Amino acid sequence: MDIGRAFSFVFEDANWVKKILIGGLISLVPLLGGMVTYGYMLEIVRRAYEGSGDELPEWDDFGGYLLRGLILFAALLIWFLPVIVLLGCVVGLLIAATDTSDNDGVAVISSLVLFGVVSVLILVIVVWSVVFLPILAGRYAVERRFGALFEFGEIWSEVRRAGAVPLLLLFVTYLAASMIGQLGIIACFIGVIFTAFYSNLVIAHGAGQVYRRARSLGEPAAPTSAPAF
């Protein structure tokens, strides 16, 4: 995975400022804005996977971006639902046990157990996300089939082909991009809208690179043009 390319590809588009401004403003729209943003990110995942150039997509397919974003969100909700339900059940049971007990020792032990179990489940969610999210996003971005998100045998095969190192590098990229996304807070909190959107583009490009490896297509050719600022 070329981490540097994931961070720099945005600036190879002559209209990157306009496109990031539009994306940042769209992300302000409650719920629907986020779905459109997901759909836009999927297009970046697809282009990075295909190695078809690093220009940012045009904002000319709002309906398509919205639909694809909604479909991906629904699929991910189904994927994470078992862990979410389990987490809710554990928290509910332990809270009930604590509230119905008059023994302070039981309350303390229940709280410790609650903290431990919740921590483990959160870790499971993080690991689950690191391993499967790039593959799921890649599959839907490329195939645009809801069913492709539940072909478990093929998904696991692609996870194995992607390899632990690229997936970990993508996670590191996510952490670094998230830190950059918070830099906008310096500009009276307004800039974070646009830096956060930029960080999403970085993650999407990285996911496309990882999925290309998962499909055993090798690395795309490095761009030859200089960044356009």
- Name the packing angle between helices 152-162 and 192-214 (round to 10°): 100
Long-range contacts (CB closer than 8 Å, 24 or more residues apart) made by 146-151? 146/71, 146/75, 149/72, 149/75, 149/79, 150/75, 150/78
Q: Stretch 176-181: mean pLDDT, rounded?
A: 79
- 10-57 pLDDT tens trace: 998 889 999 999 998 998 888 898 999 999 999 999 999 988 766 899
Instruction: Report residue 120's pLDDT band, with 50, 70 and 90 as the boundaries.
Output: confident
Q: pLDDT at residue 189 above 80?
A: no
- 62-118 pLDDT tens trace: 999 999 999 999 999 998 888 788 777 777 777 776 666 555 666 667 677 777 777
Average predicted confidence (pLDDT) for the chain: 82
**For residues 170 and 94, what is the distance between their CA atoms, to the nearest angstrom?**
35
Torsion sign (Cα): 146, 151, 155, 157? negative
Percent of the chain topping pLDDT 70: 81
Q: Which H, E and C letters describe 12-76, residue by residue?
A: HCCCHHHHHHHHHHHCCCCCHHHHHHHHHHHHHHHHHHHCCCCCCCCCCCHHHHHHHHHHHHHHH
Q: Stretch 126-136: mean pLDDT, rounded?
A: 89
Instruction: Report residue 156's pLDDT band, with 50, 70 and 90 as the boundaries.
Output: very high
Name the residue with tokens 């055993």: 216
How crowded is the C-beta side of 1, counted as CA atoms within 13 Å? 28
Instruction: Report residue 135's pLDDT band, with 50, 70 and 90 as the boundaries.
Output: very high
Domain map (residue ranges) of the chain? 3-214
Are 106 and 97 contacting, i.e. CB atoms less than 8 angstroms apart?
Answer: yes
pLDDT at res. 228: 37
pLDDT at res. 105: 64
Tokens for 168? Answer: 């970990």
Instruction: Identify the CA nearest to 210 among candidates 9, 57, 3.
Output: 3
Count of beta carbons in the 10 Å neighbourhood of residue 42: 26
